[in-house]
Amino acid sequence: MPSIDPIERTLSRQGHRLTGPRRAVVDTMRLLGNHFTAEEVQQALPAVGRATIFRTMKLMRELEMICQVVLDDGTIVYQLVGEDESEHHHHVICSDCGKVAEFTSDGLERLLEDVASMTGFEVGAHRIELYGQCDSCQKK
Amino acid sequence: MPSIDPIERTLSRQGHRLTGPRRAVVDTMRLLGNHFTAEEVQQALPAVGRATIFRTMKLMRELEMICQVVLDDGTIVYQLVGEDESEHHHHVICSDCGKVAEFTSDGLERLLEDVASMTGFEVGAHRIELYGQCDSCQKK
DNA sequence: GTACATGCAAAACTTTTGCAGTATG
DNA sequence: CATACTGCAAAAGTTTTGCATGTAC
Protein backbone atom coordinates (compact mmCIF):
# COMPACT_ATOMS: atom_id res chain seq x y z
CA MET A 1 0.00 0.00 0.00
CA PRO A 2 1.58 3.19 -1.23
CA SER A 3 1.76 5.97 1.28
CA ILE A 4 0.42 9.47 0.74
CA ASP A 5 2.91 10.86 3.23
CA PRO A 6 5.53 12.94 1.43
CA ILE A 7 8.45 11.74 3.54
CA GLU A 8 7.44 8.12 3.26
CA ARG A 9 6.95 8.50 -0.46
CA THR A 10 10.41 9.97 -0.89
CA LEU A 11 12.00 7.19 1.13
CA SER A 12 10.20 4.65 -0.96
CA ARG A 13 11.01 6.29 -4.27
CA GLN A 14 14.68 6.39 -3.34
CA GLY A 15 14.65 2.64 -2.92
CA HIS A 16 14.36 2.44 0.87
CA ARG A 17 11.89 0.20 2.61
CA LEU A 18 8.96 1.53 4.53
CA THR A 19 9.16 -0.28 7.82
CA GLY A 20 7.28 0.16 11.07
CA PRO A 21 10.23 1.62 12.96
CA ARG A 22 10.89 4.14 10.21
CA ARG A 23 7.31 5.31 10.14
CA ALA A 24 7.40 5.58 13.91
CA VAL A 25 10.52 7.75 13.83
CA VAL A 26 9.05 10.09 11.22
CA ASP A 27 5.76 10.36 13.12
CA THR A 28 7.59 11.09 16.34
CA MET A 29 9.64 13.83 14.77
CA ARG A 30 6.44 15.51 13.64
CA LEU A 31 4.97 15.06 17.09
CA LEU A 32 8.00 16.62 18.73
CA GLY A 33 7.46 19.70 16.63
CA ASN A 34 9.83 22.32 15.42
CA HIS A 35 13.04 20.89 16.69
CA PHE A 36 14.16 17.79 18.56
CA THR A 37 17.25 15.96 19.70
CA ALA A 38 18.24 12.39 18.93
CA GLU A 39 17.63 11.59 22.56
CA GLU A 40 14.08 12.94 22.53
CA VAL A 41 13.18 10.75 19.59
CA GLN A 42 14.75 7.78 21.30
CA GLN A 43 12.90 8.35 24.59
CA ALA A 44 9.59 8.76 22.81
CA LEU A 45 10.07 5.36 21.18
CA PRO A 46 11.29 2.90 23.81
CA ALA A 47 10.13 0.02 21.62
CA VAL A 48 12.55 0.92 18.84
CA GLY A 49 16.22 0.04 19.23
CA ARG A 50 18.71 2.84 19.69
CA ALA A 51 20.72 1.74 16.69
CA THR A 52 17.67 1.93 14.45
CA ILE A 53 16.92 5.45 15.58
CA PHE A 54 20.45 6.59 14.81
CA ARG A 55 20.49 4.71 11.52
CA THR A 56 17.19 6.24 10.48
CA MET A 57 18.28 9.73 11.45
CA LYS A 58 21.53 9.30 9.57
CA LEU A 59 19.64 8.18 6.49
CA MET A 60 17.27 11.11 6.73
CA ARG A 61 20.20 13.47 7.10
CA GLU A 62 21.79 12.02 3.97
CA LEU A 63 18.55 12.44 2.06
CA GLU A 64 18.30 15.97 3.46
CA MET A 65 14.99 15.33 5.14
CA ILE A 66 16.30 16.65 8.42
CA CYS A 67 19.10 19.06 9.23
CA GLN A 68 21.15 20.03 12.26
CA VAL A 69 21.37 23.34 14.04
CA VAL A 70 23.40 24.42 17.09
CA LEU A 71 21.53 26.47 19.70
CA ASP A 72 23.26 29.19 21.69
CA ASP A 73 23.72 26.89 24.67
CA GLY A 74 25.52 24.37 22.48
CA THR A 75 22.69 21.88 22.18
CA ILE A 76 22.46 20.22 18.80
CA VAL A 77 18.93 19.91 17.53
CA TYR A 78 17.41 18.48 14.38
CA GLN A 79 14.60 19.86 12.33
CA LEU A 80 12.42 18.40 9.61
CA VAL A 81 13.15 20.15 6.35
CA GLY A 82 10.21 21.95 4.70
CA GLU A 83 8.02 19.13 3.49
CA ASP A 84 6.05 20.75 0.72
CA GLU A 85 8.65 22.93 -0.95
CA SER A 86 11.78 21.35 -2.30
CA GLU A 87 13.22 24.83 -2.39
CA HIS A 88 16.57 25.76 -0.94
CA HIS A 89 16.13 27.47 2.40
CA HIS A 90 17.95 28.72 5.49
CA HIS A 91 17.21 29.16 9.15
CA VAL A 92 16.48 31.89 11.63
CA ILE A 93 17.02 30.59 15.13
CA CYS A 94 15.50 32.09 18.26
CA SER A 95 18.25 32.61 20.83
CA ASP A 96 15.71 32.40 23.65
CA CYS A 97 13.54 29.38 22.98
CA GLY A 98 15.40 27.67 20.15
CA LYS A 99 12.51 27.88 17.73
CA VAL A 100 13.69 27.56 14.16
CA ALA A 101 12.00 29.23 11.22
CA GLU A 102 12.87 28.75 7.58
CA PHE A 103 13.15 31.40 4.96
CA THR A 104 14.00 31.85 1.35
CA SER A 105 14.74 35.20 -0.15
CA ASP A 106 15.27 36.80 -3.49
CA GLY A 107 17.55 39.21 -1.70
CA LEU A 108 19.80 36.25 -1.12
CA GLU A 109 20.28 35.71 -4.84
CA ARG A 110 21.33 39.31 -5.23
CA LEU A 111 23.71 38.98 -2.31
CA LEU A 112 25.35 35.97 -3.91
CA GLU A 113 25.83 37.86 -7.14
CA ASP A 114 27.41 40.78 -5.29
CA VAL A 115 29.82 38.47 -3.56
CA ALA A 116 30.72 36.63 -6.74
CA SER A 117 31.68 39.84 -8.48
CA MET A 118 33.57 41.20 -5.47
CA THR A 119 35.67 38.14 -4.83
CA GLY A 120 35.90 36.30 -8.13
CA PHE A 121 34.52 33.20 -6.48
CA GLU A 122 31.94 31.08 -8.16
CA VAL A 123 29.61 30.58 -5.24
CA GLY A 124 28.11 27.14 -4.93
CA ALA A 125 26.91 25.87 -1.58
CA HIS A 126 26.19 28.30 1.19
CA ARG A 127 25.11 28.18 4.76
CA ILE A 128 23.38 31.06 6.38
CA GLU A 129 22.24 31.14 9.96
CA LEU A 130 20.54 34.10 11.50
CA TYR A 131 19.96 34.45 15.21
CA GLY A 132 17.35 36.60 16.87
CA GLN A 133 14.14 36.58 18.87
CA CYS A 134 10.97 35.00 17.54
CA ASP A 135 7.69 36.88 17.77
CA SER A 136 6.54 35.22 20.99
CA CYS A 137 9.84 35.75 22.81
CA GLN A 138 9.82 39.42 21.78
CA LYS A 139 6.57 39.86 23.73
CA LYS A 140 8.02 38.52 26.99
CA MET B 1 52.26 41.58 33.61
CA PRO B 2 48.98 42.47 31.97
CA SER B 3 48.41 41.08 28.52
CA ILE B 4 47.60 43.15 25.47
CA ASP B 5 45.78 40.25 23.85
CA PRO B 6 42.03 40.94 23.76
CA ILE B 7 41.01 37.38 24.58
CA GLU B 8 43.49 37.08 27.41
CA ARG B 9 42.41 40.44 28.76
CA THR B 10 38.78 39.41 28.81
CA LEU B 11 39.58 36.16 30.58
CA SER B 12 41.55 38.06 33.15
CA ARG B 13 38.96 40.76 33.65
CA GLN B 14 36.28 38.12 34.22
CA GLY B 15 38.30 36.71 37.10
CA HIS B 16 39.92 33.77 35.32
CA ARG B 17 43.59 33.00 35.57
CA LEU B 18 45.95 33.35 32.66
CA THR B 19 47.77 30.06 32.62
CA GLY B 20 50.15 28.54 30.13
CA PRO B 21 47.71 25.93 28.86
CA ARG B 22 45.01 28.54 28.35
CA ARG B 23 47.29 30.78 26.33
CA ALA B 24 48.35 27.77 24.30
CA VAL B 25 44.75 26.88 23.49
CA VAL B 26 43.91 30.40 22.40
CA ASP B 27 47.04 30.64 20.26
CA THR B 28 46.30 27.30 18.64
CA MET B 29 42.77 28.33 17.76
CA ARG B 30 44.14 31.38 15.99
CA LEU B 31 46.68 29.21 14.22
CA LEU B 32 44.02 26.78 13.06
CA GLY B 33 42.18 29.65 11.45
CA ASN B 34 38.56 30.05 10.60
CA HIS B 35 37.20 26.71 11.71
CA PHE B 36 38.53 24.09 14.04
CA THR B 37 37.27 21.05 15.90
CA ALA B 38 37.96 20.13 19.50
CA GLU B 39 40.05 17.28 18.20
CA GLU B 40 42.25 19.53 16.06
CA VAL B 41 43.06 21.72 19.02
CA GLN B 42 43.81 18.66 21.09
CA GLN B 43 46.12 17.13 18.48
CA ALA B 44 47.98 20.37 18.01
CA LEU B 45 48.72 20.46 21.73
CA PRO B 46 49.83 16.99 22.84
CA ALA B 47 51.45 18.52 25.92
CA VAL B 48 48.13 19.77 27.26
CA GLY B 49 45.75 17.30 28.87
CA ARG B 50 42.51 16.49 27.10
CA ALA B 51 40.46 17.55 30.07
CA THR B 52 42.07 20.97 30.11
CA ILE B 53 41.31 21.48 26.44
CA PHE B 54 37.66 20.63 26.93
CA ARG B 55 37.46 22.71 30.11
CA THR B 56 39.02 25.69 28.37
CA MET B 57 36.77 25.38 25.36
CA LYS B 58 33.73 25.08 27.59
CA LEU B 59 34.77 28.21 29.44
CA MET B 60 35.30 30.09 26.22
CA ARG B 61 31.92 28.97 24.99
CA GLU B 62 30.30 30.26 28.17
CA LEU B 63 32.07 33.57 27.79
CA GLU B 64 31.00 33.60 24.15
CA MET B 65 34.53 33.78 22.86
CA ILE B 66 33.93 30.86 20.53
CA CYS B 67 30.77 29.49 18.98
CA GLN B 68 29.70 26.27 17.32
CA VAL B 69 28.51 25.76 13.78
CA VAL B 70 27.32 22.64 11.98
CA LEU B 71 28.78 22.21 8.52
CA ASP B 72 26.72 20.69 5.72
CA ASP B 73 28.30 17.29 6.22
CA GLY B 74 27.30 17.29 9.87
CA THR B 75 30.72 18.10 11.32
CA ILE B 76 30.63 20.40 14.30
CA VAL B 77 33.26 23.10 14.19
CA TYR B 78 34.11 26.01 16.44
CA GLN B 79 35.12 29.49 15.48
CA LEU B 80 36.55 32.43 17.37
CA VAL B 81 34.00 35.18 17.80
CA GLY B 82 34.60 38.70 16.47
CA GLU B 83 38.13 39.61 17.43
CA ASP B 84 38.50 42.21 14.80
CA GLU B 85 35.69 44.61 15.51
CA SER B 86 36.96 47.04 12.92
CA GLU B 87 34.62 45.96 10.20
CA HIS B 88 31.82 43.47 10.06
CA HIS B 89 32.52 41.01 7.30
CA HIS B 90 31.94 37.43 6.24
CA HIS B 91 33.85 34.72 4.43
CA VAL B 92 33.69 32.87 1.15
CA ILE B 93 35.55 29.60 1.38
CA CYS B 94 36.95 27.69 -1.57
CA SER B 95 35.79 24.08 -1.42
CA ASP B 96 38.81 22.96 -3.41
CA CYS B 97 41.83 24.69 -1.95
CA GLY B 98 40.43 26.16 1.27
CA LYS B 99 41.27 29.72 0.33
CA VAL B 100 39.19 32.24 2.26
CA ALA B 101 38.06 35.60 0.91
CA GLU B 102 36.23 38.27 2.87
CA PHE B 103 33.34 40.36 1.74
CA THR B 104 30.95 42.97 3.01
CA SER B 105 27.70 43.75 1.34
CA ASP B 106 24.91 46.28 1.51
CA GLY B 107 22.67 43.63 0.09
CA LEU B 108 22.94 41.93 3.43
CA GLU B 109 20.94 44.62 5.19
CA ARG B 110 18.12 44.21 2.74
CA LEU B 111 18.25 40.47 3.21
CA LEU B 112 17.88 40.83 6.96
CA GLU B 113 14.85 43.08 6.52
CA ASP B 114 13.24 40.58 4.15
CA VAL B 115 13.74 37.80 6.62
CA ALA B 116 12.42 39.81 9.54
CA SER B 117 9.18 40.54 7.74
CA MET B 118 8.79 36.99 6.46
CA THR B 119 9.30 35.26 9.77
CA GLY B 120 8.35 37.77 12.43
CA PHE B 121 11.78 37.36 13.99
CA GLU B 122 13.77 40.28 15.22
CA VAL B 123 17.13 39.40 13.74
CA GLY B 124 20.20 40.08 15.85
CA ALA B 125 23.41 38.19 15.28
CA HIS B 126 24.06 36.45 12.00
CA ARG B 127 26.63 34.21 10.52
CA ILE B 128 27.02 33.72 6.82
CA GLU B 129 29.34 31.31 5.14
CA LEU B 130 29.52 30.83 1.45
CA TYR B 131 31.31 27.96 -0.22
CA GLY B 132 32.42 27.84 -3.79
CA GLN B 133 35.39 27.77 -6.09
CA CYS B 134 37.93 30.55 -6.11
CA ASP B 135 39.09 32.01 -9.41
CA SER B 136 42.20 29.84 -9.70
CA CYS B 137 40.40 26.61 -8.90
CA GLN B 138 37.74 27.41 -11.49
CA LYS B 139 40.43 27.36 -14.17
CA LYS B 140 41.53 23.83 -13.38
C1' DG C 1 49.17 31.48 51.18
C1' DT C 2 44.88 30.28 48.99
C1' DA C 3 41.98 29.32 45.58
C1' DC C 4 41.83 28.19 41.05
C1' DA C 5 43.71 25.30 37.35
C1' DT C 6 45.98 21.12 35.67
C1' DG C 7 46.91 16.27 34.50
C1' DC C 8 45.83 11.77 34.82
C1' DA C 9 42.75 8.04 34.83
C1' DA C 10 38.29 6.42 35.41
C1' DA C 11 33.50 7.19 34.49
C1' DA C 12 29.59 8.69 31.86
C1' DC C 13 27.76 9.53 27.49
C1' DT C 14 26.92 9.22 22.58
C1' DT C 15 27.15 7.03 18.21
C1' DT C 16 28.60 3.09 15.30
C1' DT C 17 29.16 -1.75 14.07
C1' DG C 18 28.79 -6.95 13.74
C1' DC C 19 25.70 -10.48 13.47
C1' DA C 20 21.79 -13.53 13.46
C1' DG C 21 16.99 -13.26 12.79
C1' DT C 22 12.82 -10.89 10.46
C1' DA C 23 9.82 -8.89 7.22
C1' DT C 24 9.40 -5.76 3.12
C1' DG C 25 8.81 -5.24 -1.83
C1' DC D 1 12.31 -15.28 -1.74
C1' DA D 2 16.27 -12.11 -1.86
C1' DT D 3 18.03 -8.72 0.77
C1' DA D 4 17.30 -4.52 3.20
C1' DC D 5 16.17 -3.62 7.94
C1' DT D 6 16.02 -4.58 12.94
C1' DG D 7 17.43 -5.44 17.71
C1' DC D 8 20.80 -6.58 20.72
C1' DA D 9 25.15 -6.22 22.65
C1' DA D 10 29.72 -4.96 22.19
C1' DA D 11 32.90 -1.55 20.47
C1' DA D 12 34.51 2.90 19.34
C1' DG D 13 34.57 7.57 20.16
C1' DT D 14 33.72 11.81 22.84
C1' DT D 15 33.13 14.66 26.85
C1' DT D 16 32.99 14.97 31.97
C1' DT D 17 34.53 14.16 36.73
C1' DG D 18 37.32 13.10 41.04
C1' DC D 19 41.36 13.87 43.18
C1' DA D 20 46.14 14.90 44.28
C1' DT D 21 49.52 18.23 42.72
C1' DG D 22 50.99 22.57 40.89
C1' DT D 23 50.86 27.67 40.21
C1' DA D 24 48.86 32.40 39.23
C1' DC D 25 47.65 36.23 41.74
Instruction: Give distance CA B105 / C1' C11 (Å).
Output: 50
The arithmetic mean of pLDDT across residues A121-137, rounded, is 69
Predicted pLDDT of residue B97? 52
Asked if the domains at A1-82 and A87-140 fall in one CATH topology, the answer is no
Q: Of A26, A76, A75, A74, whose CA–CA distance to A53 is shortest?
A: A26
Intervals of chain B under pLDDT 50: 85-86
Domain ranges of chain B: 1-82, 87-140
Please tell me the predicted confidence (pLDDT) of residue B26.
95
Question: Of the candidates B66, B59, B68, B69, which has an alpha carbon nearest to the alpha carbon of residue B29?
Answer: B66
Q: Full-prediction pTM beyond 0.75? A: no
CB B48 within 8 A of CB B24: yes
Which residue places its CA closest to the C1' of nucleotide D13?
B39
Highest mean pLDDT among A68-82, A126-140, B38-52, B74-88: B38-52
Higher pLDDT, A75 or A94: A75
Q: Please give the average per-residue pLDDT across A29-57, as a whole number.
A: 92
Arch. (CATH architecture) of B1-82: Orthogonal Bundle (1.10)
The pLDDT, as a whole number, for residue B71 is 72
User: Can you name the CATH fold of A87-140?
Assistant: Dna Ligase; domain 1 (3.30.1490)
Nucleotides on chain D within 7 angstroms of protein Cβ: 4-10, 14-18, 23-25
